[in-house]
């Protein structure tokens, strides 16, 4: 039986109501609601999501009807009826204010999906985050029940692990989910900002985070900085982050996983962050990841610099790099200076069953640093049809690299290079080795797949 629009709305409201009622109250926000300290019943809906939040308690669910939310009145001070309630923030990682500030364990869903439920921020004002999440147990959006964020803010949606005191970070025992949302033309679409490094040591198990932050099925389009920025920081209180089935287009970097300042010195890492089933197309750089966890079944296509740039890390498997102007994947290694047998390169746990073809036919100028905080670049040379450009070491510390460089071996067996005969510097195949090895990089691809692997698409 075909369900019409009104019927579908009733059905989805009923489903969400049943889910929410098991945990707490339902609080309704609609385009024709009126804000008050007592609003939130279905017959007395609030107008702003902020008012719904203020009236909610932990465990409640806020259900948002179709319409536009944000600065409704046009008042620069957000003082009009129905406007959101911006707040300044202190002691947080680069976020000075928020328009919708979630600091309770609530779930927020749209009733009709992101195409008709819009939250409009403000262009790079002190309210840098349109939606700011700083609490465990939060769900913001779900598949088919998310929001469109726009307006030119610093962040569309950001989860920040810091707390206002700047000590141990917020309590994270309950999972957080950001799903089913669309961000348009903010500086950064979606972000996870890990707790900043301090000398504090977690005194008891209760403050050790065990939650998982899931960022799934979101779309981020035309963000000049990054579509998705996932930055872990502190070594002791990092939380597991899963980014899966997201889409990035038109960004400076589609998926940016930069590690952050985990320690005052030493190895930076994003080992607690995994990327699975994401698609980055028509960005400058598709993916950047500094010592990430698993990278599985992601796709980088038609990016203007490179598909992937990955420094060491876990399994790199099932990924696809196709038709990027630069190399399909730029890979680098950490130089382990504390190896008892002498310096050695630290690379990947596996690098196989990936697709590389149609890449590096129109390479732009590439500047690849050979060491952290160093001006010493690796000369990547001209386009060489590189499916994989092995750029050698990235040192743990900002010191001079050995000369000659330590060999950085990459086992790239079992990948598909675009033709049945395997990698080649000319023709349909992408290449490895030769001109695609720099600064001690040494790539081996003596066995290969003769047909392509499955490709994740949007």
Both structure tokens of 229: 């920025």
In a domain, 73, yes or no: yes
What average pLDDT does the chain have?
A: 87
In a domain, 6, yes or no: no
Q: Report cis status (omega within 30 of 0) of the bond before 404.
A: yes
**Closest to 225 measured CA to CA, from 171, 169, 185, 174:** 185
The pLDDT tens digits for 124-156 are 677 789 999 999 999 999 999 999 999 999 999
pLDDT given at position 337: 65
Long-range contacts of 336-344 (CB under 8 A, 24+ apart): 336/396, 337/395, 337/396, 337/397, 343/402, 343/406, 344/406
The pLDDT tens digits for 268-322 are 678 899 999 999 999 999 999 988 999 999 999 999 999 999 998 899 999 999 9
In a domain, 458, yes or no: no
Into how many domains does the chain fold? 1
Q: Is 110 exposed, middle or buried (0-12, 13-18, 19+ CB in 10 A)?
A: buried
pLDDT given at position 11: 38
In a domain, 318, yes or no: yes
The pLDDT tens digits for 384-396 are 999 999 998 875 5
Bridge partners, 26 (sequence order)? 61
Instruction: Measure the N-to-C terminal CA separation of the chain; round to a whole number of Å.
Output: 29
Bridge partners, 198 (sequence order)? none
Contacts of 353 (CB under 8 A, 6+ apart): 317, 318, 414, 415, 449, 453
pLDDT given at position 199: 54
**Rounded Cα–Cα distance for residues 160 and 131 (Å):** 11
pLDDT given at position 235: 59
In a domain, 103, yes or no: yes
Quote the strand ranges of 210-298, DSSP E. 212-216, 219-221, 226-231, 240-244, 247-249, 253-257, 273-276, 279-281, 285-290, 295-296
Element (H, E) at 27: strand 26-29
Helix (H, G, I), strand (E, B) or coil at 50: helix
Contacts of 80 (CB under 8 A, 6+ apart): 71, 72, 73, 74
**Rounded Cα–Cα distance for residues 266 and 454 (Å):** 38
CA angle 254, 245, 297 (to 5 degrees): 85
> Is the CB of residue 247 less than 8 Å from the CB of residue 255?
no
**Closest to 412 measured CA to CA, from 359, 332, 350:** 350
pLDDT given at position 348: 93
Tell me which residues of the chain have a pLDDT lower than 70. Answer: 1-23, 93, 124, 166-167, 197-201, 234-236, 260-268, 337-343, 370-376, 395-402
**Rounded Cα–Cα distance for residues 117 and 77 (Å):** 23
> Is the CB of residue 232 less than 8 Å from the CB of residue 270?
yes
In a domain, 4, yes or no: no
Both structure tokens of 19: 């889910």
Question: In this structure, what CATH number is given to the domain that contains residue 240?
Answer: 2.160.20
Both structure tokens of 223: 């963000």
Task: Compute the residue count for the chain.
Answer: 458
pLDDT given at position 445: 96
Helix (H, G, I), strand (E, B) or coil at 189: strand
**Closest to 52 measured CA to CA, from 134, 112, 135, 110:** 110
CA 143 to chain centre: 17
In a domain, 331, yes or no: yes
pLDDT given at position 294: 96
**C-alpha distances out from residue 225 to 16, 32, 152, 156, Å:** 35, 35, 12, 12
**Closest to 332 measured CA to CA, from 306, 358, 301:** 306
**Closest to 218 measured CA to CA, from 143, 292, 152, 275:** 143
**Residue 240 lies in domain:** 11-444
In a domain, 218, yes or no: yes
Q: Is 430 exposed, middle or buried (0-12, 13-18, 19+ CB in 10 A)?
A: buried
Q: DSSP assignment of 337-357, as one string?
A: TT-TTS-EEE-EEEEES-EEE
pLDDT given at position 197: 63
**Rounded Cα–Cα distance for residues 275 and 294 (Å):** 6
């Amino acid at each position: 039986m075909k369900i019409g629009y009104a019927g579908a709305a009733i059905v989805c409201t009923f489903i969400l109501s049943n889910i929410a009622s098991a945990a707490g109250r339902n609080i309704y926000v609609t385009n024709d609601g009126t804000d008050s300290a007592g609003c939130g019943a279905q017959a007395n809906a609030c107008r702003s999501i902020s008012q719904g939040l203020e009236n909610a308690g932990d465990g409640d669910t806020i259900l948002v009807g179709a319409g536009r939310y944000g600065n409704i009145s046009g008042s620069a001070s957000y003082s009009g009826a129905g406007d959101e309630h911006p707040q300044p923030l202190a002691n947080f990682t680069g976020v000075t204010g928020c328009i919708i500030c979630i600091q309770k364990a609530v779930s927020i869903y749209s009733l009709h999906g992101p195409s008709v439920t819009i939250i409009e921020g403000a262009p790079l004002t002190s309210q840098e985050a349109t939606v700011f999440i700083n609490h465990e147990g939060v769900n913001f959006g779900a598949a088919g029940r998310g929001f469109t964020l726009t307006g030119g803010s610093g962040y569309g949606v950001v989860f920040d692990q810091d707390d206002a005191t700047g000590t141990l970070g917020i309590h994270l025992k309950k999972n957080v989910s950001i799903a089913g949302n669309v961000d348009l033309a903010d500086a950064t679409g979606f972000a996870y900002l890990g707790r900043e490094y301090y000398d504090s040591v977690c005194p008891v198990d209760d403050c050790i985070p065990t939650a998982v932050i899931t960022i799934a099925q979101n779309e981020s389009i035309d963000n000049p900085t990054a579509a998705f920025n996932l930055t872990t920081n502190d070594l002791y209180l990092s939380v597991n982050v899963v980014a899966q089935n997201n889409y990035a287009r038109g960004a400076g970097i589609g998926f940016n996983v930069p590690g952050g300042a985990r320690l005052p010195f030493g190895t930076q890492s994003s080992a607690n962050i995994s990327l699975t089933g994401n698609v980055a197309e028509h960005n400058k750089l598709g993916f950047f990841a500094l010592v990430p966890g698993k990278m599985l079944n992601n796709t980088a296509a038609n990016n203007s610099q490179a598909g992937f740039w990955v420094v060491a890390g876990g399994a790199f498997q099932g990924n696809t790099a196709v038709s990027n102007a630069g190399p399909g994947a730029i890979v680098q290694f950490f130089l382990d200076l504390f190896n008892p047998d002498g310096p050695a390169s630290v690379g990947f746990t596996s690098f196989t069953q990936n697709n590389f073809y149609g890449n590096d036919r129109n390479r732009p100028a590439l500047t690849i640093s050979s060491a952290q905080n160093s001006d010493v670049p690796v000369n990547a040379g001209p386009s060489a049809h590189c499916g994989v450009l092995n750029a050698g070491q990235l040192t743990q510390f900002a010191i001079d690299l050995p000369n000659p460089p330590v060999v950085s071996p990459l086992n790239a067996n079992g990948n598909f290079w675009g033709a049945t005969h395997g990698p080649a510097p000319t023709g349909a195949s992408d290449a490895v080795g030769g001109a695609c090895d720099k600064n001690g990089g040494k790539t081996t691809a003596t066995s290969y797949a003769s047909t392509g692997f499955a490709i994740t698409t949007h």
